[in-house]
C-alpha cells in the first residue's frame, strides 16, 4: 500500500473546497467532483476528511454514486473511521454491496454499532447469511439480539424498517422521574418525539408526547397524562400499509408491536418518507416492466431483468399481427388501410395507458374501493366516448381529405370511437381484476392493456373496412 499523505505541523494544510457541493441544477459540481477525485488519486486523507468527512449522509451518498467504482472504494478506505456508514442507506443496492463486499467484516461490525438500528438493518439485510452471522457475532449481546429480531421479520415489513431504540417508562413513574431518566441515560436514541408507557412484560399501554411532558408538573404520574396508542403498527405489517397509516393520521412516529402487543420498536416519519418514495418508484418501474432495476446495475443484470416482459410483449405483438393477417385480402384491396392502422392502435394504447396509470396508483393508495369502483368505471367509459368522438371527427376529416375518400374517413372514425372506449374500460378493469385475484397490477397491467387496444383497434378498423368493401 502506498503511504498516505499527511501534513506535518510546519506545513500549510491543503486548502479545503468552500461552499456547497451542488450546483443550481441540484447536481454535484464538476469542480468538487474533480477535487475529490484528485485527492483520492493522491491518497490525501487530510483533504478528504476536511471536505468529505462532514458531509450529510445524503450528500455523501450522492458523491458515492457520482464517483467511479475504484474511486468510491478508495474513498471509503482512506476515510477509515471518519466514513459515515449511514450514507450507504442513500445509495443503490449495487453500489452498497460493492462497497461492503470490499470491506472486512470486522470494520463493518464496528461501524454498525455506531448506527441507528434501522440503518444497520438496512445495510445488513442485503448481505449473505454467512457474513451477517459473522458481523452480528462481533456485536454486544443486547444489540445483536435486537438486530437479529429485526432481520427475522419479512422483507419490506414495518419490523424491518423500525428503530429498536426508543424511550419507554412504567405508568407509575412521575413526570419528574421520567425527565431525570431522559437526562441521565446515555443509551437513549438521539432524537425522539414520543415516550411509550409499558407494563413489566413490555406490553404497550400508551404514549406521551414530549410537549405534554414539558407542560406537566413533575409530581404528576405518567398514567394520568398518557394517551392510548390507537395507531400501533404490527411488526409484520407491510411497510406500504404502515406508510398509509402515517399519511392518514398525520403521525410523526408510531409504536411497533409484536403478535403479543409488546413494544419492539418505533417507526419514524423519516423512514416512512423513504418508504413512500421507494414504493412509488417501484410501482412506476413495474408499470414499465423493469422490476427493481437500478441505474448502477450491470449490463447483464439489466438485460436479464427486462427480458421476461419483452418476451411477453413479443407474444402479444404476434397476437395482434394474427388479427391483421385475418384481413390481408382487405389490406391488399386498399393500401390506405395499412397507412392508417397504426393511428387507431396508437391512440387506443395511449388512452389506455392514461387510465391504467391513474387506476394502478389509486389501487396502491387505496383510493379505489368497492364503494366507488362502479362510479369510476362509468366515468372512464364516458371519458373514452367523449375523447373518442373528438378524435374520430378529427381523424375522419384528415383521412377523408388525405385519400379523397369520405367513406374511409367514416370507417376510421367509427373504429376510433370503439377503440377509445375499449381502451378506457381495459385501462381500469384489467388492473381491478388483477388486484382482485392477487396479482400485482403494476407489473402485469400494461401487457394485457396494450394487447386489448391493439386487437380491438385492428379488428374494429379492418373489420369495418372489410364489411364496407364487401358491400361497395
Per residue of the chain (472 residues), give pLDDT as tens: 334 444 434 444 444 444 478 988 888 999 999 999 999 999 999 999 999 988 999 999 999 999 999 999 999 999 988 999 999 998 988 889 989 998 999 999 999 998 989 999 999 998 999 999 999 999 999 899 999 999 999 998 999 999 999 999 999 999 999 999 999 888 888 888 899 999 999 999 999 999 999 999 999 999 999 988 778 999 999 998 999 899 888 888 999 999 999 999 999 998 899 888 877 777 767 666 666 666 666 777 777 777 777 787 788 788 888 888 888 888 887 888 888 888 998 898 889 888 988 888 888 777 887 888 899 999 999 999 999 999 999 999 999 999 898 999 999 999 999 999 999 999 999 999 988 888 778 777 888 888 899 999 999 999 998 888 775 5
Q: 152 and 81, same structural domain?
A: yes
Distance between CA 288 and CA 116 in Å, rounded? 35
pLDDT for res 308: 76
pLDDT for res 11: 42
Query: What's the burial of 416, exposed, middle or buried (CB within 10 Å: 0-12/13-18/19+)?
Result: buried
Residue 6 lies in a domain: no
Strands 194-198 and 168-169: parallel
pLDDT for res 13: 41
pLDDT for res 53: 86
Q: 452 and 431, same structural domain?
A: yes
Sign of the alpha-carbon dihedral angle for 179, 185, 186, 191: negative
What 3-state class would DSSP assign to 114?
Answer: coil
Q: Which three cell numbers stand for residue 230?
A: 390507537
Residue 17 lies in a domain: no
**Which residues lie below 8 Å from residue 315, measured CB to CB, with a gap of 6+?**
none
Domain boundary among 161, 186, 214: 161
Q: 150 and 38, same structural domain?
A: yes
Domain boundary among 252, 269, 286: 269
Residue 101 lies in a domain: yes
Q: 192 and 151, same structural domain?
A: no
- Are 48 and 78 within 8 A, CB to CB? yes
Q: 67 and 35, same structural domain?
A: yes
Distance between CA 293 and CA 305 in Å, rounded? 7
- The domain in which residue 245 lies consists of 168-269
Q: 313 and 409, same structural domain?
A: yes
The domain that contains 130 carries what CATH number?
1.25.60
CA distances to 353, 380, 412 from 392, in Å: 19, 17, 7
SS3 percent helix, strand, coil of the chain, rounded to 5, is 65, 10, 30
pLDDT for res 444: 72
CB atoms closer than 10 angstroms to residue 176: 13
- Are 207 and 255 within 8 A, CB to CB? yes
Distance between CA 290 and CA 310 in Å, rounded? 10
Q: 401 and 378, same structural domain?
A: yes
Q: 215 and 139, same structural domain?
A: no
The tally of domains found in the chain comes to: 3
Q: 217 and 137, same structural domain?
A: no
Residue 444 lies in a domain: yes
DSSP letter at 28 equals B
Residue 92 lies in a domain: yes
- Are 310 and 289 within 8 A, CB to CB? yes
pLDDT for res 468: 85
Backbone dihedral region for residue 469 (phi beyond 0: left; psi -120 to 50: alpha; all else: beta)? alpha
Q: 256 and 179, same structural domain?
A: yes
Residue 134 lies in a domain: yes
Q: 404 and 333, same structural domain?
A: yes
Domain boundary among 124, 145, 161: 161
- Are 279 and 241 within 8 A, CB to CB? no
C-alpha count within 13 angstroms, C-beta hemisphere, residue 37: 13
Residue 231 lies in a domain: yes
**Which residues lie below 8 Å from residue 98, measured CB to CB, with a gap of 6+?**
69, 72, 73
Q: 65 and 147, same structural domain?
A: yes
The domain that contains 193 carries what CATH number?
3.10.580.10
pLDDT for res 365: 76
Residue 291 lies in a domain: no
Amino acid at each position: 500500500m502506498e503511504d498516505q499523505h499527511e501534513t506535518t505541523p510546519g506545513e500549510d494544510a491543503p486548502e479545503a473546497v468552500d461552499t456547497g457541493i451542488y450546483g443550481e441544477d441540484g447536481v454535484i459540481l464538476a469542480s468538487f467532483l474533480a477535487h475529490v477525485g484528485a485527492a483520492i488519486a493522491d491518497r490525501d486523507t487530510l483533504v478528504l476528511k476536511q471536505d468529505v468527512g462532514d458531509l450529510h449522509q445524503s450528500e455523501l451518498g450522492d458523491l458515492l454514486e457520482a464517483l467511479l467504482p475504484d474511486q468510491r472504494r478508495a474513498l471509503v478506505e482512506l476515510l477509515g473511521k471518519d466514513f459515515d456508514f449511514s450514507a450507504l442507506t442513500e445509495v443503490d443496492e449495487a453500489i452498497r454491496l460493492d462497497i461492503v463486499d470490499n470491506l472486512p467484516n470486522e470494520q463493518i461490525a464496528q461501524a454498525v454499532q455506531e448506527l441507528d438500528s434501522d440503518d444497520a438493518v438496512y445495510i445488513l439485510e442485503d448481505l449473505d447469511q454467512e457474513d451477517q452471522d459473522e458481523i452480528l457475532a462481533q456485536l454486544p449481546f443486547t444489540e445483536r439480539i435486537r438486530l437479529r429480531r429485526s432481520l427475522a421479520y419479512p422483507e419490506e415489513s414495518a419490523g424491518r424498517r423500525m428503530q429498536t431504540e426508543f424511550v419507554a417508562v412504567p405508568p407509575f413513574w412521575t413526570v419528574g422521574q421520567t425527565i431525570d431518566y431522559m437526562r441521565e441515560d446515555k443509551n437513549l436514541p438521539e432524537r425522539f418525539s414520543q415516550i411509550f408507557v409499558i407494563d413489566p412484560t413490555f406490553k404497550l399501554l400508551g404514549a406521551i408526547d414530549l410537549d405534554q411532558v414539558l407542560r406537566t408538573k413533575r409530581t404528576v404520574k405518567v398514567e394520568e397524562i398518557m394517551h392510548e396508542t390507537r395507531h400501533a403498527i404490527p411488526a409484520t405489517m407491510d411497510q406500504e400499509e404502515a406508510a398509509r397509516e402515517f399519511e392518514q393520521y398525520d403521525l410523526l412516529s408510531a409504536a411497533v408491536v409484536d403478535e403479543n402487543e409488546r413494544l419492539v420498536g418505533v417507526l419514524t416519519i423519516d423512514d416512512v418518507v423513504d418508504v413512500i418514495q421507494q414504493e412509488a418508484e417501484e410501482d412506476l418501474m413495474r408499470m414499465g416492466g423493469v422490476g427493481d432495476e437500478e441505474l448502477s446495475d450491470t449490463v447483464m443484470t439489466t438485460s436479464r431483468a427486462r427480458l421476461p416482459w419483452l418476451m411477453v410483449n413479443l407474444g402479444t405483438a404476434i397476437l395482434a399481427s394474427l388479427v391483421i393477417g385475418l384481413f390481408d385480402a382487405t389490406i391488399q384491396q386498399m393500401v390506405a388501410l395499412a397507412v392508417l392502422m397504426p393511428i387507431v392502435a396508437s391512440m387506443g394504447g395511449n388512452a389506455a395507458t392514461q387510465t391504467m396509470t391513474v387506476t394502478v396508483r389509486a389501487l396502491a393508495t387505496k383510493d379505489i374501493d368497492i364503494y366507488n369502483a362502479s362510479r369510476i368505471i362509468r366515468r372512464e367509459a364516458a371519458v373514452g366516448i367523449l375523447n373518442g368522438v373528438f378524435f374520430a371527427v378529427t381523424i375522419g376529416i384528415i383521412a377523408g381529405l388525405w385519400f379523397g375518400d369520405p367513406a374511409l374517413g367514416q370507417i376510421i372514425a367509427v373504429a376510433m370511437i370503439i377503440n377509445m372506449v375499449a381502451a378506457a374500460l381495459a385501462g381500469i378493469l384489467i388492473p381491478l381484476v388483477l388486484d382482485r385475484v392477487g396479482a400485482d397490477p403494476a407489473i402485469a397491467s400494461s401487457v394485457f392493456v396494450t394487447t386489448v387496444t391493439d386487437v380491438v383497434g385492428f379488428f374494429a378498423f379492418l373489420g369495418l373496412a372489410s364489411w364496407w368493401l364487401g358491400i361497395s
